[in-house]
Structure formats: C-alpha cells, structure tokens
Amino acid sequence: MAAAYELRCRECGKRYDNAPLSICDECFSPLEVAVDLDAARKTVTRASIAAGPTSMWRYQALLPVPDDSTPQTPAGWTPLLRAPRLAERIGATNLWIKNDAVCLPTLSFKDRVVAVALENARRFGFDTVGCSSTGNLANAVAAQAARLGFKTYILVPADLEPAKILNTQVYGATLVRIDGNYDHVNRLCSQIADRYNWGFVNVNLRPYYAEGSKTVGFEIAEQLGWRLPDNVVVPMAGGSLITKIRKAFKELVALGLVEDKPVRFFGAQATGCSPISTAVKNGADAIEPQRPRTIARSLAIGNPADGVYATRAIRDSGGWAEDVSDVEIVSAIQELAETEGIFTETAGGVTTAVTARLYAHERIHPDELTVACITGNGLKTTDVLQGAYEQHAAVRPRLSDFEQYLAERSEENDLVVGGAYVR
Amino acid sequence: MSVRVLLPNAFQKHTNGAKEITSSAGNLPALITEIETTFPDLKTHLRDESGQVRKFINFYVNEEDIRFLGNEKYAFQDGDEVLVIPSIAGGAFSAGEVALRGADQQRGQCHCCSYCGQEPCCCGD
C-alpha cells in the first residue's frame, strides 16, 4: 500500500487513492478505508498509545488522517465506568458503561467521526462542509466546523428536537429543515453532494468519517487494561458503529495489542424503527426499509446504510439484536440516571432497555464482562421527560415549612407498595 | 407518458457523462432495460453475475423509496421524477448475492475484508 491508508470497495475489492468518494464506480458498492496494519505494527505499541494525548488522537496512527495533521478537537477518551447499581437492578454482575454522553465538544459519539471527517475535508481542500443528520451529527459538524473555519450546511428532518436545532444554530451553521424524515434528508444530501463541491461528512467523506467510530472500540479495550470484553451492546441507527467497534477489536488483535477472544455484538433499536433488529431476528440477509415512528429520533433511520453489515457482524459474532418500545426507552433513561448518575438521550434509553432485556432473556450471562455503549446526552432530548416529574408548590424559607414538606413526602412514600420504587 | 430519470455521478463513467434521461417506461423493470439499452457500457456494472440489478442501487419516485410504492409493480405516472441513488455505505442485498459474494472470494476475485480491511483477510471473516 502506497499510503498508510487507502479506499477499497467493500464488495469487489477495487482500490482507490484517497479522495472524497464513497461509491465504487465499477459495482456501485460502498467504499471503506483500509489502514496499512503492517506499517502500523512497526510503530504502534501500548506504550506509544499511552504516551499520546488523552483524546481519540492517541490512536491517530490507526486513523485515516494525514501524518502531519494536528487535530484541533479533543474528542473521545470518555469514561468507561463499572455500573454496579444498574447491574443489580437488571440481574447483571459485570456490567460496564462506555459513556459518550460526555464526549467533547458536543456530548455525543458523533464528535469522533466528525473529527476524522473534517481533517479529511481540510486535506481535500473543501471550504464548505455539511451533513444529513438526526441531530447529534449536526451539533458535532457545526461545532467543529466553526473551530476549523468551514462554511457549513446542515440538513435535518423538520421535526427534530428543539435542543438539537438550537445546538446546531448557535455555532453559526446554516441549518436547513427538510420536510421529511431522515431517509428523505439523506437522499437529498446524496444529490447535493453530486452537484456541489462540498464535503458532506456522511456522504462523500463517509469512508473516513466512519473510521472515527473505531476509537470507541480502541478505548474500551485499553480502558479494560488491554483486553476485550465478552459482549458489547450498541445502539443502531445506520448500523455503522457496531461494525466499526468490531473492526477496532480485530485491528488490535492483528497488531498484537490484545489477546484474541470471541466478542459477541448485540444491537439495540427502537421498535418504531427496527429494520436491523428485525433482520437479525428473522435471520434475513436483506434489510426491509421502514417508516420510522419512535421518540428515539437519533436512531430513526428506516433504510440504514450499514444495516446489512451490522446484521452480518451481529450474526457472525454469535450476538443478537432487540428492540424496545418508546415507554421502555423513557423508563430506561430514568433508570440509568437513578442508578449510575448518567443522563442519556433516547438512544441511550434504547441501549439500556435492550441491555436489560438481553439479561432477562438470558442472551447474556450475568458474569460475562459486558459493555453497554451510551452514545448521547440526555440534555438534548429533555422533551421526552416532559411531565415525568411533578413540580410541587414552592416551600417557604422556614425550617418548620421544610419539616412539613418532609412529613408530606414521607406520607406519599408510605403509599408506595412494599417500599419498592414502582414506576 | 414520460418520466424524468436522474442518474448519480457514479454512473457517469459509463454513460458518457449523461446525468439524466427521459423515459417512457411503464414500470421499474422496463426502465432498467431502457437505461441499459441507452447505455450498454452500464449494463455489466448495473447487474451482478447472476443478472440481478445490484441491490446497492436504490430507486426513488419523486420523494419516495419505490419499495414503499410496490417496487416493480408500481406503474409510473406521467411527470414522475425517478432518482437512482446508490446506497452510501451499504444497503440491502439478497441471500443469493451474499452467496455469490462468497463464491467470488473463493475464486479470488474479491480479496479485501469488510471488517479488517486487510488483503487477505486477517480476521477470519
């Protein structure tokens, strides 16, 4: 391989020099980045990684960015936390949370993929970048493009959560609301990328963009003390993240940085938009597109771009996929917050609820080291919790009033059956 | 009766740069045949080894995925705008194509791996 990385067709294998290109011109299949692991093997060690920055850029040698890049945004290196209280609640004993609800700079794992995409946008000489987005990507592109000085066009479904719209516009991005769902937006962006010389991070820059997701897998392995988990539970929208975490683990094994072992991959979707979990459950190789109807709008992709690859990754690993209702999603958001102090968005509610179900259905053994990937922050989807908590009358600033308030609360608590919290 | 058909940039290498055509085809199979007749170079790229149209290629009528409209059974209306768009990162393909893909790999026509990206595959996929 001439460069440290190049593009290859995922189906026919045709190789391409690095370019803003995502589709093979021979068989019209998707392109993917191939990193030269033979070259990386000579320089990348656990020590060289540990000596790097406390961000995803500690893995720069394994990412498709030019050697002379000095990345500007400190995305990644988010906490991997033991989750004993959630584990106890759902019948697990060795559960961990990879918490990208606190990924910088915009509080979702999309900061990782955008960081890689925009380094390449710069390399290819674009002055304007954009994306189609269900919200988190919009925030990440807007913030990082502002820092790098790009002009930005971001296309979103018109019914997106207000917080995600505000969190895009505040960075000065041009936000275009499209009268349709994400799949409509994505199709339009494909046409725009064909027409205009813009760098669309998830269209013509997608092969580079997608590689950023590998850093979730790299970090999980390193934070576990350079070992792989038994199971990973991953939310699925387009289906890219789950395949890239798997790719990351395979690369670490190939580089000799972790011992090889079987890792099972579990996918999580909302029932209202579950084309990938449906394919997994039905044993189908083809993805049947759906019209999304769920509060988990960041996962509401009815025709998932990487769906077939995600299905294959899950099946080949011996994993499974599940989907949960909107009511379960909201309950799971509350459960994760109440037990572990992590406030996640609806996608995280999906992951948490699916994780609970996988234990309940004995798909995952309680003792197995299992990592659930939380990919976004609850502050962006507070609308789903509207009305979930009663606002009591304000208490006068007197100790006697406060004590009366406590007494009233105590009476309320006595009404809860058996002292257990019942939602 | 005519429909306007917009072709993606990825096709242009095989269409002498043509970006759109006007067609009088009544449905999707007829349209695909017409595209292949108009651009013979495209035919071998548009179809896989078993002669099936590659499932990475999506068809939209106006703003809707044709699969939601009945797919091959949908009768084009006068003035319809048909978009041909390859899946950006993947897409749906049939079990037959998956089997073919495996056969191709065995014959040595496909060398890279979707997951490790290595040639030959280093991850056993």
Domain boundaries in chain A? 80-107+213-385, 110-210
Please give the structure tokens belonging to residue A275. 């084309």
pLDDT in tens, A127-138: 999 999 989 999
Residue A256: per-residue pLDDT: 96
Q: CB of A315 within 8 Å of any CB in chain B?
A: no
For residue B58, count CB atoms less than 10 angstroms from its CB and return exposed for 0-12, middle for 13-18, buried for 19 or more.
buried
Verify cis geometry, omega within 30 degrees of 0, for the bond prior to A235. Answer: no
Q: Which of B35, B50, B107, B115 to mutate to test the interface with A (most CBs of A within 10 A)?
A: B115
Q: CB of A34 within 8 Å of any CB in chain B?
A: yes
Residue A416: per-residue pLDDT: 61
Indicate if the pLDDT at residue A241 is higher than 50.
yes
- CATH code (residue B27): 3.10.20.30
Selected residue with higher pLDDT from A310 and A3: A310
Indicate if the pLDDT at residue B90 is higher than 60.
no
Please give the structure tokens belonging to residue A286. 């083809």
Verify cis geometry, omega within 30 degrees of 0, for the bond prior to B120. Answer: yes
Indicate if the pLDDT at residue B111 is higher than 90.
no
Please give the structure tokens belonging to residue B43. 């035919």
Residue A35: per-residue pLDDT: 92
Residue A230: per-residue pLDDT: 98
Confidence tier at A217 by pLDDT (50, 70, 90) = very high
Q: Which amino acid is at A302?
A: G
Name the residue with tokens 């029932």. Answer: A271
Number of neighbours of residue A121 by Cβ within 10 angstroms: 29
pLDDT in tens, A152-169: 999 999 988 888 899 999
Shortest Cα distance, chain B CAs vs residue A155, angstroms: 16
Q: CB of B92 within 8 Å of any CB in chain A?
A: yes
Residue B59 in any domain: the answer is yes
Q: Which amino acid is at A196?
A: Y
pLDDT in tens, B23-56: 999 999 999 999 999 999 998 889 888 888 887 8
Residue B63: per-residue pLDDT: 82
Q: What ipTM did this prediction achieve?
A: 0.78
Mean pLDDT for all residues in chain A = 93
Instruction: Report the first-to-last Cα separation within chain A, whole angstroms.
Output: 57
Q: How many domains does chain B have?
A: 1
Mean pLDDT for all residues in chain B = 75
Residues 6+ apart with CB under 8 A from A283: none
Indicate if the pLDDT at residue A57 is higher than 70.
yes
Residue A1: per-residue pLDDT: 54
B90/A307 CB distance under 8 A: yes
A308/B45 CB distance under 8 A: no
Q: Are A96 and A370 in contact (CB under 8 A)?
A: yes
Confidence tier at A71 by pLDDT (50, 70, 90) = confident
Q: Which amino acid is at B55?
A: K
Shortest Cα distance, chain B CAs vs residue A281, angstroms: 15
For residue A371, count CB atoms less than 10 angstroms from its CB and return exposed for 0-12, middle for 13-18, buried for 19 or more.
buried
Q: CB of A306 within 8 Å of any CB in chain B?
A: yes
Indicate if the pLDDT at residue A37 is higher than 50.
yes
A227 alpha carbon, distance to own chain's centre: 21
The pTM of this model reads 0.89
Can you give the residue range of the structural domain that contains B31? Answer: 3-93
Pick from A28, A184, A253: CB nearest B45: A28
B68/A291 CB distance under 8 A: yes
Helix (H, G, I), strand (E, B) or coil at A159: coil
Residue B120 in any domain: the answer is no
User: Chain A, 256-295: which have a CB under 8 Å from a chain B CB?
Assistant: 285-289, 291
R_g of chain B, CA atoms, integer Å? 16
Confidence tier at A3 by pLDDT (50, 70, 90) = low
A305/B67 CB distance under 8 A: no
Fold matches, A80-107+213-385 and A110-210: yes
Instruction: Measure the CA–CA gap between A41 and B101, rounded to whole angstroms.
Output: 30
B95/A23 CB distance under 8 A: no
Residues 6+ apart with CB under 8 A from B11: A28, B39, B42, B84
Number of neighbours of residue A287 by Cβ within 10 angstroms: 26
Number of CB pairs, chain A paired with chain B, less than 8 A apart: 143
Structurally, at CATH architecture level, domain A110-210 sits in: 3-Layer(aba) Sandwich (3.40)
CATH 3.40.50.1100 is held by the domain A80-107+213-385 = yes
From the list A69, A27, A137, the residue with the least C-alpha distance to B112 is A27
Instruction: Measure the CA–CA gap between A286 and A345, rounded to whole angstroms.
Output: 29
Instruction: Measure the CA–CA gap between A396 and A33, rounded to whole angstroms.
Output: 63
